[in-house]
Structure 1
Amino acid sequence: MTAQAATLEDMERDALTELVNIGVSRAAVSLRKMVGQQVLLSVPSLEVVSRSGAITLIREREYGQMVAVRQDFDGAFSGRALLIFPESNSLAMVRAVAGESLTLEEAAAIENEALAETGNIVLNSCLATMANMLKQPLTMSLPEVLRSNGSLLFESRRPETDGGIVLFLYINFAINNHDIRGYISMLMDLPSIQALRLLISEFIRQVMGEEI
């Protein structure tokens, strides 16, 4: 089954984008408390692509290595979530989060720890918000920091499957006037995508019912 077969309807896409935006807004509040600086996060667009399509999107938009925080999630829908940045932005992210007074050497020394903590806040907020609003519990693994090109970032949890479908979200990320572009990706197999679609459809029906 292809990514095209799993394409979200417009209303489903809008609902999912809104759920993620609520999640990243909550992540921004948590990060603001942690760093004591203004944090702005938003998700302007979402695409549903194949694993190879996600790799192509990254390679078309970015040059060089990428750094990602990866966490697996399990529940009514399961998969692998990633917060991805160009590696060239990673030290800027660390200094924005941990303090501008850090030297490059000091930032490099705590880079993985700071990235893992930031990724954990963002990914947990996104997925916890989705789970809460869809009324389904999710469990998440501990964050893992990766450095790689696109192909290894989108490695499936289950290599024996068809590689999975990727929900690929662009994210605008600004901390203390640093604009750090990035991506949130959720790699899921087809049964999980179908389960998520059913939950989103039910969520839409409930929201529309409340508005009538």
Structure 2
Amino acid sequence: MSTVREIALSELERDALTELVNIGVSRAASSLRKMIGEEVLLSVPSVEIMAPDDAVRLIGERETDELVAIQQQFEGAFSGQALLIFPQTISLDLVRAIIGEDVPPDQLSEMEQEALAETGNVILNGCLATMANMLKRSLNISLPEVVRGDGSRLFKLMQPRPDDGLVLFLYINFSVRNRDIRGYIAMLMDLPSLAALKELIAGFIHRVVGDEA
């Protein structure tokens, strides 16, 4: 059975992972800025490793609306599934920030799916590819898929078998066109993948700070 203790990160490893993710989302923000022609700010203030049930509980405590998620699989030195998650109401706000306020309501729903998929693709690809590059590895990342439901349904999609892995859970803050938009990135990885990621992070720390780490 997967336990968080088996793969716990030290404070230095957590700081390094947070920095890697922040660099990744910063690059994703730059790509989004080019796409929509407006400044986009993204930050990841917290990174946690937890059991899927705990991730469901956490997001359920924070969000009561139905959730919208963009899902992608990644394979390589570490593998798993990634979700970029927004509450439904916030996802509509994000879509309007991306495609503009002058889109008629009847066209908004038609454009929402495509806009969300493209946004998720930019953010998840930017985050995952940058992390892999800085860890001196590469990843293959699937095309995005938009899924909807509550936290339990989303994480069940990620985790077809019980106790199959742990979730790397990231809280993210957006600012697009003066809108504050919150969301989450969740990456489900099995223990071997998380162990591989932990080892790569240790190598990254050694390259950056040397033997003092």
What TM-score bracket applies, with the shorter chain setting the length?
over 0.9
Question: How far apart are 1:66 and its partner, in Å?
Answer: 0.3
Partner in structure 2 of residue 166 of structure 1: 167
Distance 1:87 1:67 in 2: 6
Q: 139-148 vs 98-107, which deviates more?
A: 98-107
Letter paired with 2:134? M
Indicate the RMSD between aligned Cα atoms, in angstroms. Answer: 1.6
Q: Give the equivalent residue in structure 1 for 2:110.
A: 109
Q: Aligned residue for 1:91?
A: 92
> CA offset at residue 68 of structure 1?
0.4
Q: What displacement does 1:5 show?
A: 2.1
The 1-side partners of 2:137 and 2:162 are apart by 25
The match for 1:128 is 129
Amino acid at match of 1:170: Y
Secondary structure of the 1:163 match is: coil
Q: Which amino acid letter does the alignment assign opposite residue 130 of structure 1?
A: M
Give deviations 1:94-142, integer Å, cap 9, x for gaps: 1101112112222211111000000000000000001100011100110
Tell me which residue corresponds to 2:181: 180
Please, what TM-score do these two structures have when normalized by structure 2?
0.95
Task: Report the counterpart of residue 65 of structure 2 in structure 1.
Answer: 64
1:4 aligns with 5
Residues 77 and 184 (structure 1), Cα distance of their counterparts in 2 relative to 1, 3 Å cut: same
User: Which ranges in structure 1 are unaligned for 5 or more consecutive residues?
Assistant: none
Q: By how many angstroms is 1:64 displaced?
A: 2.3
| 1:150-161 matches, cutoff 5 A | 150-155=151-156, 159-160=160-161
1:54 is aligned to 55
Q: Distance in 2 between matches of 1:71 and 1:13?
A: 23
Amino acid at match of 1:106: Q
Distance 2:161 2:168 in 1: 20
2:120 paired residue number: 119
- Out of 158-167 and 70-79, give the one that drifted further: 158-167
Alignment gaps of 5+ in structure 2:
none
**Does the 8 Å CA contact 1:156/1:163 hold for their aligned counterparts?**
no
Query: Post-superposition shift, 1:202?
Result: 0.6
Summarize deviations over 1:138-180 as a string: whole Å, max 9, x none: 0011000010111121136563462311011110011101111
- Aligned twin of 2:191: 190
Structure 1 position 209 matched with structure 2 position 190: no
